[in-house]
Amino acid sequence: MAWTDLVAGCFGFGTAPFANNRPDEQIAKEAIAAAKAEGASREEFARLIALYPSKYIKSAQVLRERVSEDAARLDKLWKVSRVTD
């Protein structure tokens, strides 16, 4: 499965933050490992996860805060996730 197909599962439900609970975090780690294995950059991953809250959040300020929080979680997970063979 392509990493892009795994990203939706990192949110639990539509309005949930990225990797905000243990099951979503586990899926996020799998998605990150797959992205790295496919040669995707952190920036590509971040762009994709930024699309999800924009579907539900209409306030520009709230959206900026949410994308910032999601990016911070991505940074932590991106650093610890390793490509497994």
In a domain, 85, yes or no: no
Interval 29-49: pLDDT, tens: 999 999 999 999 999 999 999
Number of domains observed in the structure of the chain = 1
Say what the pTM is. 0.87
In a domain, 30, yes or no: yes
In a domain, 19, yes or no: yes
In a domain, 31, yes or no: yes
pLDDT classification of 12: cutoffs 50, 70, 90: confident
Q: Can you tell me the distance from the alpha carbon of 82 to that of 69, in angstroms, rounded to the nearest whole number?
A: 22
Range(s) of the domain holding residue 41: 3-80
